[in-house]
Amino acid sequence: MADKSANSDRFAREPQRRIAAATAIGMNALNPIMRFQVSMLRMWADSIERFAGNYKKELEETATAVEEQTDKERAA
C-alpha cells in the first residue's frame, strides 16, 4: 500500500518537475539574448548622446558666428 502511495506521489510531481526544467532551460536560453539586447541598447544610447553633444556644439558655434557677424555689421 505504501508503495502505491509513494508511486502516485512521484507521478503527481513529475509534470511540475518537467515544467520547472523547461522553464529553467528557457530562461538559460534567454539570458544571452537579453544581454545582447541590453548591449545594443547601450550602444544606441551612447550614439544618441554623442549626436546630441555634437549638435549642441555646432549650434553654439553657429550662434557665436552669427553674433560676431552681427557685431561686425553694427560696427561698420
Residues 18-71 pLDDT 10s: 888 889 998 999 999 999 999 999 999 999 999 999 999 999 999 999 888 888
What pLDDT is recorded for position 72?
82
Q: What DSSP element (H or E) covers 76? A: none
CB neighbours (10 Å) of residue 29?
9
Cα 74 versus chain centre, distance: 52
pLDDT the model gives residue 11: 61
Amino acid identity, residue 55?
Y
Note the pLDDT of residue 37.
97
- Report the distance separating Cα 33 and Cα 42, nearest Å: 14
Total-model pTM: 0.55
